[in-house]
């Protein structure tokens, strides 16, 4: 399967990249290419122009500042997986990264690419929502910030407008007491998740003061299981409470059916995975 013909450029600055995108309506951004290239090879995508942003300076850094952990959009998955800063400031992401594809894909694939692709079964979008991350978006004439919860609009659909480029994801510093646990069920190591859970709980006096239960693979976007979270609120993380949260979560989601799993299977797996993930989270030291 060879791609349909396209024109290619590799701008040296962000401004040039934004200008090029503005000039060509049928342009697509090429970052890691690990999702775009298969689509091009299969002719599922046939852009007239590819704008290669891999050489744009300053977008691949990972650093911690007062605003939180800033992961540049061009940071490669493998760099994020190995980063001690990510382990310290966003352990949820650190736990998710080994599930992302395989080494040869992680060396090229980017955080920004995964977030902008918005595959409902991907790990990073669910983590971003669970961490209340903020996505920085560059456009001609400025920058804007979009909270993760508002960023993912539908399957392969985000708040990015034509001509915009994601530049970073910022994970705000968590208040003390948060515990994070990521869990995933996939038929084979490295596959897209059948279901995945990004679970976070902040405990006060042994009770859940706040939580985030965000699921991948059960909807058109990452799904925040608010009723599951509500079942946990103000209660200890014991098995009865966890079971109730699991039931509430299973009832509130509306998963799709596809060749990999029926809706009934996804619903069941989501419940089981959420319960197990919360059970593990409960045993962790904060």
Partner 1 sequence: MADAPLRIPEADSYIGKSPVRPQARRLLDGRGSFTDDVRLPRMLHVAFLRSPHAHARIVSLDAAAARGLPGVVRVVTGKDLAGVCAGWVGTLAHFQGMKSAMQHPLARGRATWQGEPVAAVVAETRALAEDGVARLAVEWAPLPVVIDAETALDPATPVIHPDLGDNLAFSLELASGDAARAFAEADHVVRDTFWMGRHTGVTLEPRSIVAAFDPSERRLTVYHSFQAPNMMQDVLARHLGLPESHVRVICPDVGGSFGIKVHIYPDEMATCAISVLLGRPVKFVADRLESFQSDIHARDHRVTAELALRRDGTMLGMRVDDLTGIGPYSVYPRTSAVEGNQTVRLTPGVYRFRDYAARLRVVFQNKTPMCQYRAVGHPIAFAVMEAMVDRAARELGLDPVEVRRRNYVTADMYPCTSQTGYFFERLSHEECLDKLLALSDYRARCAERDRLRAEGVYRGLGLCAFIELTTPGPAFYGVGGARISSQDGCTLKLEPGGGVTCTTGVTEQGQGTDAMLAQVVATAVGVPMEQVRVLTGDTLVSPYGGGTWASRGAGIGGEAALQSGKALKGNILRVAGAMLSCEPDDLDLRRGKIVDAVTGEVRLDLAELGRVAYFRPDTLPKDFQSELTVTRHYVPRHQGFAFTNGIQLAHVEVDTGTGFVRLLGHWAVEDCGRIINPRLVDEQLRGAIVQGIGAALYEHCVYDDAGQLLTGTMADYLVPMAAEMPDIVVGHVETPTAYAEGGFKGAGEAGTAGAPGAVLNAVNDALAPLGARVTRQPITPEVVLRALGALP
Partner 2 sequence: MDVRPETEMAITLTVNGVAVRRRVEARRTLVDFLREDLELTGSHVGCEHGVCGACTVKVDGALARGCLTLAVQCDGSRVETIEGVTASGELDDLKTAFAETNGLQCGFCTPAMLLTADVLLRDDPGLDADGIRRGLSGNYCRCTGYHAIVEAVLAAARLRREARRG
Q: Is 88 in the site for partner 1 (CB under 8 A)?
A: no
Q: How many CA atoms lie within 13 A of 151 on its CB side?
A: 32
Residue with tokens 């993912």: 152
Strand stretches in the chain, DSSP E = 7-9, 27-30, 49-52, 62-65, 68-72, 134-139, 142-147, 152-154, 157-158, 165-171, 178-185, 195-204, 207-216, 223-224
Q: Which one of residues 62, 171, 185, 198 is an interface residue with partner 1 (CB under 8 A)?
A: 185
Q: Which one of residues 14, 28, 45, 52 is an interface residue with partner 2 (CB under 8 A)?
A: 52
Site string for partner 2, 171-200 (x = CB under 8 A): -----------------xxx----------
Q: Which one of residues 69, 101, 192, 225 is an interface residue with partner 1 (CB under 8 A)?
A: 192
Q: At 266, is the secondary structure helix, strand, or coil?
A: helix
Do 143 and 136 form a contact (C-beta atoms < 8 A)? yes
| Distance separating alpha carbons of residues 136 and 166, to the nearest angstrom | 6
Q: Which stretch binds partner 2 (CB under 8 A): 12-20, 67-75, 129-137, 276-284?
A: 12-20
Tell me how crowded residue 261 is: count the other CB atoms within 10 A of its CB. Answer: 20
Residue 20 Cβ, how far from partner 2 at the closest point, in Å? 5
Q: Which one of residues 22, 25, 103, 150 is an interface residue with partner 2 (CB under 8 A)?
A: 103
Residue 251 contacts which entry, partner 1, partner 2, none (Cβ below 5-8 A, type-dependent) = none
Q: Is 257 in the site for partner 1 (CB under 8 A)?
A: no
**Positions in the binding site for partner 1 (CB under 8 A):** 1-5, 42-43, 185, 187-192, 194, 259-262, 264-265, 268-269, 272-273, 276
């Amino acid at each position: 399967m060879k791609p349909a013909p396209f024109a290619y450029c590799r701008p040296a600055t962000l401004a040039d990249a934004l200008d090029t995108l503005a000039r060509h309506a049928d342009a697509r951004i090429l970052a890691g290419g690990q999702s775009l290239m298969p689509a091009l090879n299969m002719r599922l995508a046939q852009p007239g122009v590819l704008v290669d942003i891999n050489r744009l300076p300053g977008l691949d850094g990972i650093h911690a500042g007062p605003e939180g952990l800033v992961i540049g959009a061009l940071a490669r998955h493998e760099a994020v997986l190995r980063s001690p800063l990510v382990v310290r400031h966003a352990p949820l992401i650190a736990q998710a990264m080994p599930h992302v594809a395989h080494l040869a894909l992680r060396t090229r694939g980017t955080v920004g690419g995964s977030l902008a692709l918005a595959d409902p079964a991907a790990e990073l979008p669910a983590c971003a929502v669970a961490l209340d991350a903020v996505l920085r978006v560059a456009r001609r004439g400025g920058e804007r910030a979009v909270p993760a919860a508002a960023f993912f609009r539908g399957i392969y659909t985000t708040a990015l407008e034509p001509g915009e480029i994601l530049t970073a994801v910022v994970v705000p510093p968590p208040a003390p007491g948060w515990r994070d646990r990521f869990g995933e069920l996939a038929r084979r190591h490295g596959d897209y998740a059948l279901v995945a859970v990004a679970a976070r709980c902040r405990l006060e006096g042994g009770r859940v003061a706040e939580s985030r239960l965000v699921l991948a693979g059960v909807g058109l976007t990452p799904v925040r299981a608010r009723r599951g979270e509500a079942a946990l609120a103000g209660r200890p993380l014991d098995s009865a409470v966890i079971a109730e949260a699991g039931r509430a979560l299973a009832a509130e989601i509306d998963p799709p059916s596809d060749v990999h799993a029926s809706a009934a299977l996804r619903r069941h797996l989501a419940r089981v995975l959420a319960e197990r993930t919360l059970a593990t989270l409960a045993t962790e030291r904060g």
